[in-house]
Structure 1
Amino acid sequence: MQTEAEPEVSPARMRLMAVIIATALFMQNLDSTVISTALPAMAQSFHAVPLHMSVALTSYLISLSVFIPASGWVADHFGARQVFRGAIVIFTVGSVLCGVAGSVGELVAARIVQGLGGAMMLPVGRLLLLRSVSRKQMVDAMAWLTMPALVGPVLGPPLGGFIVSYFSWRWVFDINVPIGIIGAVAVSMFIPDVREPDRGGKLDLLGLVFSGLAMAFLMAGFETVGRYLVPMGWTIAAFLAGAACCLAYAAHARRTPHPVLDFSLLAIPTFVNSMLAGSLFRIAVGALPFLLPLMLQLAFGYTPLQSGLVTFAAAAGALLMKPAAQPLLSRFGFRTVLIWNGAIAAAMMGLCALFQPNWPSLVLDAILFTGGFFRSLQFTAYNTIAYGDVPRPRMSAATTLYATVQQLTLTLGIVAGAFILEISTRLQGHKEAVQSDYAIAFVIVSAVAMLAAPLCARLPRNAGEALSGHHPATEEKA
């Protein structure tokens, strides 16, 4: 079916490129979560109200959301390697500025700079890898690239607590500097400058304004709903403004030959399936790093270090999955793996509802370790099959749209976890959330993840066979 020329790269070279890009993305994902633990210390340093320090989180997320839609055009116009290397440099400079900030205003400005770099790192890093490897190598490559999304949120809170407890909150940002320098040099030395013909046309500035405002308003609404950071009227207004900007962008995109977010990609069945089913799964998984540490520390009485050691088991399970991804997908195919592995991963999330304070930590570790394995495999499958049928000249548009939706759904997962927890606590008349409230939250997010299975069942049996090497027709004849 594929008539496009495939790049040739050795397995060792492919893994090296994947690790370099994944390390840069790990820096971004780690930074996004490690800062949350440092917010009280920052507030004390700036003589600010701790609750107001959430602006350090929201300013980064909004900056990230606004600039992601432009990443595809920028990569096509200036070259993916140059943009990715520049993104690492910008993110690192932003980290330095955060570390030396003398006021909340300076910190917010520095976080916006970080967001600009981060917005280019995720989609352009993925694009760079997809353009550098053949389709048969995509499963292995994406398996390595999936790691930052799973390890960063798990490792971030305990690492942030350790740094703040024994050093200074400013070191939370300083740890990015050596990683950024090494990453920029490694990209220059080992990542090829693979280019596709420029799609032509000017940057869709009006589309960027509409999409940026839509993302900014929606992210602001998600970040404030149910958290009493602003009056509820402001949150509702943010959602309404975001919806209005979405409609304005949709009308604009139909009249534009090269929109910043190309919704015509939704005509590709494997891409749209990964978008829709993957979004349900990401919402559920996005809630886990929020719910688990809270339950372990507030309901079970664990210290931050004890909680971090338990939740890190999930990251260890994700690491174990890497060599297993290609053999499993080759043996069973994408459709079967996405259905059954997704169901198992959802069930493992639901098992967290059974956790009790008197359970041995080894039992918790075993469940989280196993769940981490299945969740990582599911992410790898979604993130790979999404691009299996996308023509190479349209890869930049595909990574941009995919990253935009991914950012929204992961944030929505945190919001969903917090909202369910709040509602359960009120309905059960608890002053603070107890184990039963967390149990309800885990059951609901598990059910959300389970909703992805029927969507995956709509995939053809041979979906992604060029990526996995699984040929169901040949298997049936045998």
Structure 2
Amino acid sequence: MPDPLTQRLLPWLVAVGFFMQTLDTTILNTALPAMAYSLHEPPLRMQSVVVAYMLTVALLIPASGWLADRFGTRCVFMAAIVLFSLGSLLCALSATLQQLVAARVVQGVGGALLLPVGRLAILRAFPKHQLLQVLSFVTVPGLIGPLIGPALGGWLVEVASWHWVFLVNLPVGIIGGFATWRFMPALVGERARFDWPGFILFGAGMVLVSLALQGLGEHALPLASSLVLLFAGLAAMAGYWLHAARSPAPLFHRDLFRIQTYAIGALGNLFARLGSGAMPFMTPLFLQVGLGFSPSRAGLFMVPTVLGAMLAKVLVGVVIPRWGYRHVLVGNTLLLGLSIASFALSGPYTPDGLLLLQLAVFGVVNSVQFSAMNTLALGDLGPDTASSGNSLLSVVMQLSMSLGVAAAAALLAGFSRQGIAPNPQHVVTAFQSTYACVGLLSMLAAFIFLQLRQADGDRHPVPLDATDT
């Protein structure tokens, strides 16, 4: 058991790591147009900067627990902060889009370890009766980061340059690194055997399929190359499925999908988050490139989305016990798609008040969706499936959001190419068409939640402490 001083400071340390991660995921989107102009790239082709980070996080989440058990929480958390800070510095020094994408991969390696290892240290350092209070404290920065991130990113672009979007992480990283070395306990778990073959097969399949879909959607790769990547990725996924059937300790248990609420919750996450994942990427671009907003104004317009998400934390605890998971998820999925598609009606003459209202409504509906899906998926897991199920759900979330960004970028590119001339109205029309398509994709996830029985989830009617990220 750590000493009293360490127990007092450890939650602050993990909270700082969580803040770094959530701030980075939101501060970047507002700066994408300025980054594109600086790097001489089209603003609508900057999705690789976002996708590279998300895919890296999704790839490494399954290994985070094993690394902490093998090398100790202090060493791994320190490595996470160092890699995240180093990646931030390399991002700021990047002179080309390719360099920036490579630096985002380095940053993603650190980001993939920050939150899982920090939570693990909390779970091992505190008695069970204190965990809820401590974990609730740690998740508060997860709300503060998205609240200030877009506005801070826009302000930094205007008063300095886009490089400061990444450089702002360095002082926090230096302080966090020193505090980690001083106060993070070196907790080592049982050195369980890690499923390296499964990890390689699953990771290869996930990355190859993502690259293939991005290549097909944007014509960034020749058709033959994209098809080769797609079939290679599907073969790797099939190989993992067969491997998991005979492995005594697979990376993810196939038995997870015999739990109906988990299977529906995970698959619903995969498809519903396609639209939700695209919105933080598309909307700052739409406001700046389509509607001509300044970076700081675009960032401020994203604040109602976060405030709406905070309001939903109260709302979701009321609606689910009253109507049940089936009705809430089917209805809310349709509302989510409609709220995304409603931006197809927005344009240069849309009143600011109406646009702010649209963003706030999206924040409420989106947060209700996440909380309900996550709680449904995790609520019926037992002690033998909780760790594997939570890890797989986190991977699904990151993968779905990266696919959503790639899909939105491909749609934007496709609709942009259909225009005769690249005039401002044509850009707005391309965004409007993309919003309509992404909203429709999100609504289709309602068919998955229709498979729920009315009684599913009754054993955990009040949402668990499930994060939105």
Query: How big is the shift at 1:275?
Result: 0.9
Aligned to 1:29: 25
Per mean C-alpha deviation after superposition, the further-off stretch among 427-436 and 236-245 is 427-436
Q: Secondary structure at the match of 2:347?
A: coil
Q: 2 CA distance for matches of 1:249 and 1:408?
A: 17
Q: 2 CA distance for matches of 1:224 and 1:344?
A: 31
Tell me if 1:354 matches 2:350.
Answer: no
Q: 2 CA distance for matches of 1:223 and 1:150?
A: 32
Aligned to 1:400: 391
Aligned to 1:317: 308
CA deviations 1:456-477 (Å, max 9, x no partner) are 233233433443359xxxxxxx
Per mean C-alpha deviation after superposition, the further-off stretch among 358-367 and 410-419 is 410-419
Q: 2 CA distance for matches of 1:232 and 1:175?
A: 40
Cα contact 1:27–1:179 (8 A) shared by 2: no
Tell me if 1:272 matches 2:268.
Answer: no
Match of 1:385 among 370, 376, 386: 376
Query: How big is the shift at 1:206?
Result: 2.0
CA deviations 1:259-297 (Å, max 9, x no partner) are 223333122222111111122210011222233333333
Amino acid at match of 2:443: M
Aligned to 2:155: 162
Tell me if 1:115 matches 2:112.
Answer: no
Tell me if 1:459 matches 2:452.
Answer: yes
Q: 2 CA distance for matches of 1:51 and 1:421?
A: 7
Cα contact 1:330–1:468 (8 A) shared by 2: yes
Identical-pair percentage: 32
Distance 1:61 1:345, change over 3 A: closer
Query: How big is the shift at 1:449?
Result: 1.8
Per mean C-alpha deviation after superposition, the further-off stretch among 290-299 and 276-285 is 290-299
Aligned to 2:365: 374
Amino acid at match of 1:67: L
Distance 1:436 1:114, change over 3 A: closer
Distance 1:431 1:164, change over 3 A: closer
Cα contact 2:27–2:150 (8 A) shared by 1: no
Query: How big is the shift at 1:28?
Result: 4.3
Aligned to 1:71: 64
Cα contact 1:275–1:386 (8 A) shared by 2: yes
Q: 2 CA distance for matches of 1:407 and 1:418?
A: 17
Distance 1:275 1:81, change over 3 A: farther
Cα contact 1:143–1:380 (8 A) shared by 2: no
CA deviations 1:161-218 (Å, max 9, x no partner) are 43234224432222123444566688899999999x84832x2222222222222222
Cα contact 2:14–2:118 (8 A) shared by 1: no
Query: How big is the shift at 1:448?
Result: 1.9
Q: TM-score, normalised by structure 1?
A: 0.77
Amino acid at match of 1:283: L
CA deviations 1:91-134 (Å, max 9, x no partner) are 23432454456888876664433221122235556777889898
CA deviations 1:192-249 (Å, max 9, x no partner) are 9999x84832x22222222222222223234444434443433333222222222222
Tell me if 1:442 matches 2:438.
Answer: no
Aligned to 2:227: 236
Match of 1:281 among 272, 275, 284: 272
Tell me if 1:200 matches 2:192.
Answer: yes
Distance 1:390 1:126, change over 3 A: farther
Runs in 1 of length 4+ with deviation above 6 angstroms?
15-18, 48-55, 79-82, 101-106, 126-135, 140-144, 184-195
Distance 1:75 1:326, change over 3 A: farther
Q: 2 CA distance for matches of 1:80 and 1:448?
A: 40
Q: 2 CA distance for matches of 1:389 and 1:147?
A: 28
Aligned to 1:3: none
Gaps of 5+ in 2: 1-8, 464-469
Cα contact 1:128–1:194 (8 A) shared by 2: yes
Aligned to 2:287: 296
Per mean C-alpha deviation after superposition, the further-off stretch among 86-95 and 54-63 is 54-63
Per mean C-alpha deviation after superposition, the further-off stretch among 157-166 and 168-177 is 157-166
Q: 2 CA distance for matches of 1:80 and 1:122?
A: 11
Q: 2 CA distance for matches of 1:16 and 1:361?
A: 38
CA deviations 1:419-445 (Å, max 9, x no partner) are 333444455756464444433322222
Aligned to 1:252: 243
Aligned to 1:4: none
Per mean C-alpha deviation after superposition, the further-off stretch among 266-275 and 333-342 is 333-342
CA RMSD for the aligned pairs?
4.4
Query: How big is the shift at 1:42?
Result: 5.9
Distance 1:56 1:328, change over 3 A: closer
Cα contact 1:72–1:396 (8 A) shared by 2: no
Aligned to 2:467: none
Query: How big is the shift at 1:156?
Result: 5.4
Cα contact 1:146–1:379 (8 A) shared by 2: no
Amino acid at match of 1:318: A
Aligned to 1:43: 39
Amino acid at match of 2:23: M
Gaps of 5+ in 1: 1-12, 471-478
Q: Secondary structure at the match of 1:353?
A: helix
Aligned to 1:92: 85
Q: 1 CA distance for matches of 2:413 and 2:72?
A: 46
Q: 2 CA distance for matches of 1:205 and 1:417?
A: 33
Distance 1:141 1:445, change over 3 A: farther
Per mean C-alpha deviation after superposition, the further-off stretch among 456-465 and 396-405 is 456-465
